[in-house]
Structure 1
Amino acid sequence: MPFEKVEQGKLADAVVRQIELLILRGILQPGERLPSERELSERMGVSRPSLREAVSALQRKGLLTARPGAGIFVSDELGAQFSPALTSLFASHEEALFDVIAFRRDIEGLAIERAARAGSDTDLRVVDAIFTKMEAAHARRSAAEEAALDAQFHMAIVEASHNVVMLHMMRSMFELLKKGVVVNRQVMFRQRTTRDTLLDQHRAINAALQARDPVAARAAVEAHLDFVEAAQRLQVRADRNEAVARKRFEHEQSR
């Protein structure tokens, strides 16, 4: 766990500060359970009364929440800026669909540039480890696992950018990202796009990032999302054409 012993001073304030930073930096995530009071006090080197004072302060701020019989958790509300209803609305309307892709292109392009320049070696190892898992899922032909890892891959790049506003913005729409990845893959497979093509695009993104080439990394992300957008536009056109063809067919049958 990421907790450290606190410095001297008012211990409760130091505990509050440390847990706030762990949440701000995305290390502690919405819905995550904290260790038990005994374990946490030992890890942080503070008394239980000081720890309880800090936890109470964080609860008043809305950062932590108590669940009777279960423990103390990071508040779910920190990751709930996009409600399930709004996520479904975005996924089901053409206008929002292309806005989401454009938003991702802008944010992820900026994020990977920052990650290539400022990400630590460990950040880049995380991204590379997820890509390795994608390759393994691809070899097993595990489409669902590969799609889930696809979303994690893109999220890890944002995390590696070390911009906390960008991080929490993308975390708040992670469900939308996961749903979008699944839908995008389904659409592209209907158009005979191979899983190999998508894996190669992610390989190019990873390779440029591991080389710490911000220009090539951004270009690879943008090329991938341009490909996704083109596939979606092609499918929208095909669906419209099919709807018109069905009306013509129904009309012909009724004559």
Structure 2
Amino acid sequence: MNSTRPAMARIADVVASELEQRILEGSLKPGDKLPAERNLALELNVSRPTLREAIHKLVSKGLLHTRHGGGTVVTDRLQAPFTDPWKDMLRGHPLLQSDMLEFRHMLEGEAAKLAAERATDMDLARIDAAYTALEKAYASNDMNACVERDVAFHQAIADASHNTLIGQLTASLMQVIHGHVTDNLIHLHELPKQWEQLRTQHKAIWEAVHRREAEEASQVARDHIRFVRLSMEESAKLEDRRNSALRRLT
């Protein structure tokens, strides 16, 4: 009887679990390409056949996708079932935007609190880098960069909470409301006082997490989302007035 195959299968299960954990915690994100097989096998200290079997297990689960001649990439299976229907629902039912922001208010408040309590030195370094990039983007007139860096900053906070669901739900939620975030930043950019408030709020979140002031971090994060909510409501009213004026002209 050949006992090598069962042993290799058990090792492959362990490797698959390790890769799955990286996907769950956000170390490997949708669209990320796995390192070269040789390098990844060395990193995980397993044979290449064992690694291939582990990857095959995750491909079967739909977490990885192997491209012919293009390597293996992480799919969006953990996010798509949530984001796809909600994007359509938001387009058809604009009032749901308020509910989304109410949910974000709770989610990000808790994320900031846990990040202040649990962030490692590496997490803080990542948050620092995200905040610095956000400040550079805000100082420019590149709205695409502002949106990307804004999302990246909030995701860095969520990941530092070391709560897998908070990290995954934050990523999913940001995809759902991406268009609304873009519209809101464009609206705020036209209002210097509010634009400066936005920058001050992000700085307050960053500083509170760094000082490990959990309750303060939670409060300033919630204050920020409350400000965003009011700003989006004002932006929607302004757009409605513009459309009304256009209808009267025609």
Shorter-chain TM-score bucket reads 0.7 to 0.9
Matched, 1:48 2:48: yes
Give unpaired runs (5+ residues) of structure 1.
1-7
Give unpaired runs (5+ residues) of structure 2.
1-7
Q: What is aligned with 2:12?
A: 12
Q: What SS does the corresponding residue of 2:66 show, helix, strand or coil?
A: strand
Q: 1:102-251 maps to which residues of 2 (within 5 A)?
A: 102-190=102-190, 193-240=193-240
1:186 deviates by 2.1
Structure 2: how far apart are the matches of 1:246 and 1:177? Answer: 27
| Structure of larger gyration radius | 1
The amino acid across from 1:26 in the alignment is: G
Q: Is the 8 A contact 2:143 2:185 kept in 1?
A: no
| Bigger shift: residues 149-158 or 81-90 | 81-90
The amino acid across from 1:69 in the alignment is: G
Structure 2 vs 1, CA of residues 213 and 45 (structure 1 numbering), >3 Å: closer, same or farther?
same
Q: What is aligned with 1:58?
A: 58
What is the identity percentage for the equivalent residue pairs of Structure 1 and Structure 2? Answer: 32
Structure 2: how far apart are the matches of 1:56 and 1:110? Answer: 36
Superposition TM-score, scaled by structure 1 size: 0.83
Q: Is the 8 A contact 1:29 1:74 kept in 2?
A: yes
Structure 1: how far apart are the matches of 2:53 and 2:241? Answer: 64
Structure 2 vs 1, CA of residues 79 and 187 (structure 1 numbering), >3 Å: closer, same or farther?
same
Structure 2: how far apart are the matches of 1:139 and 1:209? Answer: 23
Q: What SS does the corresponding residue of 1:81 show, helix, strand or coil?
A: helix
Q: Is the 8 A contact 2:83 2:176 kept in 1?
A: no
The amino acid across from 2:61 in the alignment is: K
Structure 2 vs 1, CA of residues 180 and 92 (structure 1 numbering), >3 Å: closer, same or farther?
farther
Structure 2 vs 1, CA of residues 245 and 177 (structure 1 numbering), >3 Å: closer, same or farther?
closer
Q: Is the 8 A contact 2:9 2:50 kept in 1?
A: no
Structure 2: how far apart are the matches of 1:242 and 1:187? Answer: 13
Q: Is the 8 A contact 2:34 2:73 kept in 1?
A: yes
**Number of paired residues?**
243
Matched, 1:32 2:32: yes
Structure 1: how far apart are the matches of 2:42 and 2:242? Answer: 65
Q: Is the 8 A contact 1:28 1:74 kept in 2?
A: yes
Q: What is aligned with 2:99?
A: 99
1:176 deviates by 2.4
Q: What is aligned with 2:72?
A: 72
Superposition TM-score, scaled by structure 2 size: 0.84
1:171 deviates by 1.9
Matched, 1:23 2:23: yes
Q: What SS does the corresponding residue of 1:216 show, helix, strand or coil?
A: helix
